């Protein structure tokens, strides 16, 4: 199988800002591919060795939050978060970047997941809850970016929902309430490809819906 090996000298910076960078990757006979990324040139995924690639950290974590409450079926907790590139509030899972302090932890993605769940839902995980890694790293859209997310699942066991709050939003984050779904309701949204307001949602939300509706979360604890 043919493999392209991208060297650092084949990569040219086109845009360098605080939040996003764009690189021109030159390959085969002066052909060009473009990469929008959070990474610096030295940390660009395209130039990593296969070993470094296998061991790299994801940029962020997306969290599937499942609630277990007395006398109720399990519920998937989602939020309505404003996404600037779409100009809409989208049905979303709690998510956020993995920061340098997280990288020092035994499982950086889970350290970030715990913090993001607390910020975006108000829920502080306890020893009665379960937080597990679903997938160590998946790419967002590798045709345009090297951005990646880990996937985590939190099973929250409570007697009530008094903790729920979106007051922990930081920076550009804007929320408009929670959505709690049974497995059957999650399947309905999966089938339609839209939320109850007819709005499309992200692939990470689709993954959360699938993980919950399939019942696979039972087997990860």
Q: Phi, psi at residue 218, to the nearest 5°?
A: -65, -30
Q: Under a CB-based contact definition with an 8 Å cutoff, are residues 180 and 67 in contact?
A: yes
CATH 1.10.375.10 fits 60-219, yes or no: no
Residue 170, pLDDT score: 84
Name residues whose C-beta falls within 8 Å of residue 134's C-beta, 6 or more positions apart in sequence: 64, 151, 152, 153, 211, 220
Confidence of residue 2 (pLDDT cuts 50, 70, 90): low
Q: What is the pLDDT of residue 191?
A: 97
Note the pLDDT tens digit of each residue in 182-217: 999 999 999 999 999 999 999 999 999 999 999 999
Answer whether residue 220 shows pLDDT above 70. Answer: no
Task: Give the span between the Cα atoms of 70 and 207, in whole angstroms.
Answer: 26
What is the β-pairing status of strands 60-68 and 31-37?
A: unpaired
82-95: per-residue pLDDT in tens? 999 999 999 999 99
CB 72 within 8 Å of CB 159: no
pTM metric for this prediction = 0.94
Candidates 38, 17, 140, 173; CA nearest to 99 is 38
The Cα 69–Cα 67 span in angstroms is 6
Q: What tens digit of pLDDT does each residue of 92-136 get?
A: 999 999 999 999 999 999 999 999 999 999 999 999 999 999 999
- pLDDT of res. 3: 62
> Can you give the pLDDT at residue 175?
95
What is the pLDDT, as a whole number, of residue 1? 44
Measured between its terminal Cα atoms, the distance across the chain in Å is 38
| Angle, in degrees to the nearest 10, between helices 203-213 and 183-192 | 140
Instruction: State the span(s) of the chain assigned CATH 3.90.79.10.
Output: 60-219
Residues 12-29: tens digit of each pLDDT: 999 999 999 999 999 888
Q: What is the pLDDT of residues 54-85, one digit of tens each?
A: 999 999 999 999 999 999 999 999 999 999 99
Distance CA(199)–CA(201), nearest Å, equals 7
With vertex at residue 209, the alpha carbon angle to CA 208 and CA 212, rounded to the nearest 5 degrees, is: 85
């Amino acid at each position: 199988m043919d493999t392209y090996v991208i060297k650092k000298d084949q990569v040219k910076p086109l845009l360098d800002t605080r939040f996003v960078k764009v690189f021109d990757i030159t390959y085969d006979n002066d052909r060009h591919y473009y990469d929008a990324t959070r990474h610096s040139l030295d940390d660009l995924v395209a130039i990593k060795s296969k070993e470094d690639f296998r061991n790299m950290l994801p940029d962020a974590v997306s969290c599937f939050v499942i609630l277990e409450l007395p006398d109720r079926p399990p519920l998937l907790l989602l939020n309505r978060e404003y996404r600037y590139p779409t100009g809409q509030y989208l049905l979303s899972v709690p998510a956020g970047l993995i920061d340098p302090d997280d990288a020092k932890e035994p499982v950086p993605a889970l350290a970030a997941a715990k913090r993001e769940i607390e910020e975006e839902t108000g829920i502080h995980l306890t020893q009665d809850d379960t937080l597990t890694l679903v997938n160590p790293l998946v790419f967002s859209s590798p045709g345009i970016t090297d951005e990646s997310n880990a996937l985590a699942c939190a099973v929250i066991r409570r007697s009530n929902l008094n903790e729920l709050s979106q007051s922990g939003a930081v920076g550009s984050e804007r929320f408009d309430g929670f959505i709690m779904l049974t497995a059957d309701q999650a399947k309905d949204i999966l089938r339609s490809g839209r939320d109850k307001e007819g709005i499309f949602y992200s692939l990470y939300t689709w993954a959360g819906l699938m993980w919950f509706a399939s019942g696979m979360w039972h087997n990860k604890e």
